[in-house]
Amino acid sequence: MNDQALGSYIEQVGRAARDASVAMARATTAEKNRALHAIAAGIEASLTELLAANAADLAANPELDPALVDRLELNPARVAAMADGLRQIAALPDPIGEVSNLHYRPTGIQVGQMRVPLGVVGIIYESRPNVTADAAGLCLKAGNAVILRGGSEALQSNLAIARCVAAGLGTAGLPANAVQVIDTTDRAAVSALLGAQRYIDVIVPRGGKGLIERVSAEARMPVIKHLDGVCHVYIDDRADLDKAIAIALNAKTHRYGVCNAMETLLLAEDVAGSALARLVPLFRDKGVELRGCARTRALVPDCVPATEEDWHAEYLAPILAIRIVPDLDAALAHIRRYGSQHTDAIVTEDVSRARRFLAEVDSSSVMVNASTRFADGYEYGLGAEIGISTDKFHARGPVGLEGLTSKKYIVIGDGHVRR
Amino acid sequence: MNDQALGSYIEQVGRAARDASVAMARATTAEKNRALHAIAAGIEASLTELLAANAADLAANPELDPALVDRLELNPARVAAMADGLRQIAALPDPIGEVSNLHYRPTGIQVGQMRVPLGVVGIIYESRPNVTADAAGLCLKAGNAVILRGGSEALQSNLAIARCVAAGLGTAGLPANAVQVIDTTDRAAVSALLGAQRYIDVIVPRGGKGLIERVSAEARMPVIKHLDGVCHVYIDDRADLDKAIAIALNAKTHRYGVCNAMETLLLAEDVAGSALARLVPLFRDKGVELRGCARTRALVPDCVPATEEDWHAEYLAPILAIRIVPDLDAALAHIRRYGSQHTDAIVTEDVSRARRFLAEVDSSSVMVNASTRFADGYEYGLGAEIGISTDKFHARGPVGLEGLTSKKYIVIGDGHVRR
């Protein structure tokens, strides 16, 4: 497409989304749930078409590396998982219309807050076609319209899923334009969306760091995002060592490529020797490369020397940076300097230190005696998540349905005027 | 200052604010309240110095128009009001550290949310020196550091107030850099602040539309703002006319220059004649100019014809646009098209219509049978407000202490790991 055609295409999509958002905001819980169930059934009934569209995407991109092929590929189990996910979203309570804190003021008016949709959500994502169904489902349940821009290599898969979504919306009497997939592989479409603040209330990028940086730099509307997950576990000298070992091992090795995996282990000096004596063989068994400060290397002779970059690193790999610190204050200072405000944990039996860590660590999730791997919408009971936010504004931490809503004030009087 | 000197000055201020924000986040409720009371006492004790600094500002700006002089001027009553405002903020509950919704998950971890400060708040405002004390007090109570950039013409007044603030912070053992006033009249300082997203977490512009537009366009961090207050009152044909007349009159004439004043009156056609017969003489008595649609002019012959611009207008003056609409749907459509998402009210005795209006009007405050003038932090019981937000993201409507905070997740386990 040339610039002008692209501009008018995005304009048309934006306007249609804005119009659909009015109907979506008005949609009843029953209508939204009916749509979610109809979409789930449609996805299951369209298994053959979805696999064919996906095969076309795979055939059109023969040079993808195996990790990307794995993300792009649909199979019967993944299609069933998409349908299940939508039914789980249908089962969640509807956040829209919830009124909180309605109370009488001395003037006689009642003041409260009502939860309402944000309006139009834009999602920019990479290869996984399941995001099309998941994100559409969450936005729909929260009463929003959504514009989806997936990876170019997944276009046919995404369009096939979008057809199921449109049919399901229609079954429930909701506007098909409530969920639109951008139907062009033109990379300039992303910039056009990021400049469409008139039509899009919030953008959620889902993908690698390059995508998120680009979206953050260009977007003219608010962005729900996290850039890095440099998560820490601090083992205090008043830790129960059994708990500390279990948590450190789980936080690093449960999964490597995830944003809530531990990347740096901080150890209070009085406990470092005994903790490392038990942890090092366990990490070595799992093939984790250890990179330590000078004091760590004195205790673990064949440990790789850690450099300044290691304290900043999000490895997303079986590599762990280890630093021995004098005390809690030094651990807090390290996290403040090098952390990414994602998730950090302390292991301690000391109530005062746990209380300080909880209050003073400025991260989206702060934990006591639990693995950083728990930082997740499902684990927190949100039902599903659209992403994890490390910003402090609006939603922070795992973002579920509530993060896709806003609260407005409502006032109910009986002819009241201001004196 | 040249660009380089200005850049390094703002860098130094930003870094000092960031450092101070760590201490402020840790400050106890008692310390923050002690500081607020000490600042209030210091302001009262410095009456002579404050008036002298203010006289110097007035003398240095002999060409200000009378409205600006009125905003800039301090007198004993205004100084006393600043001190009172700070004591009122001290009396508010401390929002920081509040834990909500802490509950056990099936895995055994406890998950909840803790309210924490945003970090560093930037306030960019115009002539009124009292904003220096009010905004500093609110930010301080919410555990934030703050950078204040007031109008050039108020610099000496603002610096004199800032000296009282710094002394009060010192009395309470809190860092003086928690509240900094930008000590240059260089206009480029505003741009430098708006680009300092590394140091400033949120910007709050307070002033005229020009200032707010400039801040919104340039800021690289989130902005809490409202641009326009095009507020509507819709008188439904099922309204109680006595209530409708009282509300319409109050919403327009209680104060003209405020963002929550009614600018457009919408009337259901079945009630328009009887409502206008009573309202027109009342508005005329107050000297309100009426601008009506064709149907309004048929009922009010000497009414000025309203143009398309009138439906968009925020008059902030004794002028009112009036439109007769067929029904609630047409009123909702008018508000959707021309409203500024600030405050809109319906007058009706019909529960179903009230329920629809509350749910469907997408404004920061939506009211039933009450004057739009109630849209205000004090009236809502927030204790004080830093501004009113018409954005949907983060804070919406009057923004008090909570709008200057964020919620992070906390997780408490007992050695829990993820399976």
Residue range A231-379 in CATH 3.40.50.300: no
The answer to whether residue B101 neighbours chain A at the CB level (below 8 Å) is no
Chain-chain contact of A363 with B416 (C-beta, under 8 angstroms): no
Name which of B367, B396, B410 is nearest A366 (Cβ-Cβ): B410
**pLDDT-based confidence at B387, cuts 50/70/90?**
confident
| Range of weakest confidence among A194-208, A234-248, B310-324 | A194-208
Distance in Å, alpha carbon of B187 to nearest chain A alpha carbon: 24
The answer to whether residue B31 neighbours chain A at the CB level (below 8 Å) is no
**pLDDT-based confidence at B141, cuts 50/70/90?**
very high
The answer to whether residue B351 neighbours chain A at the CB level (below 8 Å) is no
Shortest CA distance from B106: residue in chain A: A379
Name which of A114, A201, A415 is nearest B369 (Cβ-Cβ): A415
Q: Which pLDDT score is estimated for B1?
A: 77
The answer to whether residue A63 neighbours chain B at the CB level (below 8 Å) is no
Whether A272 has a pLDDT exceeding 80, the answer reads: yes
Whether A344 has a pLDDT exceeding 90, the answer reads: yes
DSSP lists the bridge partners of residue B21 as none
| pLDDT digits 0-9 by tens, B173-227 | 999 999 999 999 898 999 999 999 999 999 999 988 899 999 998 998 999 988 8
* B19 within 8 A of B175, measured Cβ to Cβ: yes
The answer to whether residue A250 neighbours chain B at the CB level (below 8 Å) is yes
Q: Which pLDDT score is estimated for A226?
A: 84
User: Which residues in chain A are contacts of B358 at CB distance < 8 A?
Assistant: 114, 410
Q: Which pLDDT score is estimated for B226?
A: 84
CATH code for A3-224+398-411? 3.40.605.10
Whether B9 has a pLDDT exceeding 80, the answer reads: yes
Chain-chain contact of B374 with A109 (C-beta, under 8 angstroms): yes
Q: Which pLDDT score is estimated for B336?
A: 96
| pLDDT digits 0-9 by tens, A190-208 | 999 999 999 999 999 998 8
The answer to whether residue A11 neighbours chain B at the CB level (below 8 Å) is no
User: Is the ipTM reported for this complex over the cut 0.90?
Assistant: yes
Q: Which pLDDT score is estimated for B327?
A: 98
Q: Which pLDDT score is estimated for A12?
A: 97
Helix A351-360 crosses helix A328-338 at what angle (to 10 degrees)?
20
Distance in Å, alpha carbon of B415 to nearest chain A alpha carbon: 4
User: Which residues in chain B are contacts of A340 at CB distance < 8 A?
Assistant: none
Whether B143 has a pLDDT exceeding 80, the answer reads: yes
> How many Cβ pairs within 8 Å bridge chains A and B?
217
Q: Which pLDDT score is estimated for A300?
A: 96
| Range of weakest confidence among B100-109, B216-225, B251-260 | B216-225
Whether B165 has a pLDDT exceeding 80, the answer reads: yes
| pLDDT digits 0-9 by tens, A355-365 | 999 999 999 99
Residues 138-197 (B) with a CB less than 8 A from some CB of A: none
Q: Which pLDDT score is estimated for B237?
A: 98
User: Which residues in chain B are contacts of A104 at CB distance < 8 A?
Assistant: none
Domain boundaries, chain B: 3-224+398-411, 231-379
* A92 within 8 A of A383, measured Cβ to Cβ: yes
Same fold flag, A3-224+398-411 and A231-379: no
Chain-chain contact of B418 with A254 (C-beta, under 8 angstroms): yes
Residues 207-226 (B) with a CB less than 8 A from some CB of A: 222
Name which of B247, B254, B364 is nearest A408 (Cβ-Cβ): B364
| pLDDT digits 0-9 by tens, B51-102 | 999 999 999 999 998 988 999 999 999 999 999 999 999 999 999 999 999 9
- pTM beyond 0.90: the answer is yes
Q: Which pLDDT score is estimated for B156?
A: 96
**pLDDT-based confidence at A24, cuts 50/70/90?**
very high
